[in-house]
Amino acid sequence: MSDLRDIDRRGVLGLGLSGLASTIGWAQTARAVAIPLGIDDLLDSAALAYGTVGHSVVVLRRGQLVYSRHSGLSDRETGAPITDRSAYPLFSISKLFVIAELLKAHSAGRIDLDKPLGAIRAGLPSAWAGITLAQALAHVSGLPDYIPDHVEPTQDEALAAIAALPLRFTPGTRNDYNQTNFLFARMALEQATGKPLKALVERQFQSIGMSRTGYHVEGQPSLADLVSSYRPAPGRVRPPLPYVSPSWPAYTFGSRGVFTTVPDLVRWSQALIAGRVVPLDALLASWAPFSMPSGTAAWHTHGWEYYRHDDVTIVGHGGDVRLVWRHFFRTMDPDDSATVIYLDNGGRTTFDRHRLATLVADRVMPGAARQGEEQEEVLSQGLASDRWEQAVAAVAATMPPEQLEATVNRVGYDAMNILDADAALPAFRWNVDRFPRSSNAYDSLGEAYRAAGQLGRAKESYQRALALDPSSERLKAILYELGQSSSDR
């Protein structure tokens, strides 16, 4: 298959220039349902639908480079393309390098991951002191978050600003990703090694030959070849707006701060998979699930994002909702793997980059994506490009009714979470039209109307849901609450 060549394509997407998605060819979108797209087609379809300014994508199969591509613009004003020299801010993907240092220290016996936070820093609130480093790395600590509301000039001031805040939940009982967890990860690592994080991680970079990678405080001074960042304009109906990231102090480097190029990130990824960054047995052990009291796996383990379906385990991390590093492997055969690096600099709308990266992986490692994920992406692109009716018609022709309702419902909730309630309404409305006997379809539509502030319509939808499921105490409670509210605003 031609997509599996070692290639480096550099093209400029015309739609990346404008950020508009109105001219997406429907033939591309529909074809995603009928037959598998190649990686180029998948990425181009997504870039057109979401108005991405520029992106870089790399795929490794069993640690070997099988696909590499830059497309679009590093800067819309100058027309500069993205190239191998383009420097990306990694934001929270920077945590991967901290994780690697923690695993190395743990493997060498220098750090105990079950160490309580009270042993890492004295004077913590009593509710914090017994939380373990492992719980922090799994984001089940319940700690309040110091980013973005309590970033102070110094670490001491940041911790003081949140010390009086209550825990978000009893430690170990829920997942709640936050940056305070990695503030403690950095402190624990520096305490265990006696060296500053920056020095530890930059030595990691040097050992692999990552000559264009390092920590950097945004804007002090500007980096050469730095990609420009963009954010959606209000309403997502105009080209994206330039965005300058806040310049946060160096003590936040446990959570962010690394800038790199695609070739350097490939070097690190290959070294990691080969066991040259962390001993391979320690690395594989860190990819075991972190169990919750319910017996389910947490969404993170040892700092890695963690997900499993069928025979596939997925680990990695995202950054600033537009950067993804994901490693996929057969749970019983970790050598059977694919690694996807997806980086972009923003666009007309936000979307699920993790799903896109997963579908890229599925092109070289069948089964990397769960069932229905391809169709969800087609529907999401349809919502984003004002081609919902065509997209849902194409998907509906390939899917049994019970699966279709659930898939459309899931895409609607994705749109609510990633965009807003108004963006989700076409999906939920379609479901109630197609499945008028479904209480759940009306329930979801009611939730979207309620989130959009259309309380009268929300009440009507919930009433229809209750009529179809008269025993639902939850629906009765919602309607009682709405009855206490004013009508449509």
Mean pLDDT of 58-77: 96
Domain 400-483 bears CATH identifier 1.25.40.10: yes
- Name the band, by pLDDT with cuts 50, 70 and 90, for residue 210: very high
- What pLDDT sits at residue 488? 44
- What pLDDT sits at residue 36? 38
Half-sphere exposure of 126 (CA within 13 A, CB side): 0
Give the bridge partners for 80, in sequence order.
75
Condensed to tens digits (0 to 9), the pLDDT of residues 429-464 reads: 999 999 999 999 999 999 999 999 999 999 999 999
Q: Would you list the domain boundaries of the chain? A: 1-85+310-370, 87-301, 400-483
CA distance 23 to 13: 12
Q: Which of 15-29, 353-367, 459-473 has the lowest mean pLDDT?
A: 15-29
Task: Tell whether the model's pLDDT for residue 15 goes beyond 60.
Answer: no
- What pLDDT sits at residue 27? 27
Higher pLDDT, 41 or 16: 41
- What pLDDT sits at residue 485? 59
**Chain centroid to CA 293: how far?**
25
Closest CA relative to residue 48, chosen from 335, 381, 354: 381
Mean pLDDT of 316-328: 96
Condensed to tens digits (0 to 9), the pLDDT of residues 146-205 reads: 999 999 999 999 999 999 999 999 999 999 999 999 999 999 999 999 999 999 999 999
Condensed to tens digits (0 to 9), the pLDDT of residues 48-65 reads: 999 999 999 999 999 999
Q: What's the CATH code, domain 1-85+310-370?
A: 3.30.450
Task: Tell whether the model's pLDDT for residue 17 goes beyond 60.
Answer: no
- What pLDDT sits at residue 7? 29
Q: Is it true that 1-85+310-370 and 400-483 share their CATH fold?
A: no
CB 191 within 8 A of CB 107: no
Give the bridge partners for 323, in sequence order.
319, 343
- What pLDDT sits at residue 140? 97
Condensed to tens digits (0 to 9), the pLDDT of residues 117-154 reads: 999 999 999 999 999 999 999 999 999 999 999 999 99
- What pLDDT sits at residue 244? 87
Task: Tell whether the model's pLDDT for residue 4 goes beyond 90.
Answer: no
Q: What's the CATH code, domain 87-301?
A: 3.40.710.10
pTM comes to 0.89
CA distance 318 to 258: 13
Average pLDDT, the chain: 90
- What pLDDT sits at residue 245? 84
CB 189 within 8 A of CB 102: yes
Query: Please, which contacts does 387-390 make with residues 24 or more away whose CB atoms are closer than 8 Å?
Result: 387/24, 387/26, 387/29, 388/426, 388/427, 388/430, 390/26, 390/29, 390/30
Condensed to tens digits (0 to 9), the pLDDT of residues 413-433 reads: 999 999 999 999 999 999 999
- Name the band, by pLDDT with cuts 50, 70 and 90, for residue 218: confident
Q: Are strands 9-11 and 64-75 parallel, antiparallel or unpaired?
A: parallel
Higher pLDDT, 12 or 77: 77
- What pLDDT sits at residue 37? 59
Task: Tell whether the model's pLDDT for residue 21 goes beyond 70.
Answer: no
- What pLDDT sits at residue 237? 84
Task: Tell whether the model's pLDDT for residue 487 goes beyond 60.
Answer: no
Give the torsion sign (CA, 271, 277, 278, 279): positive
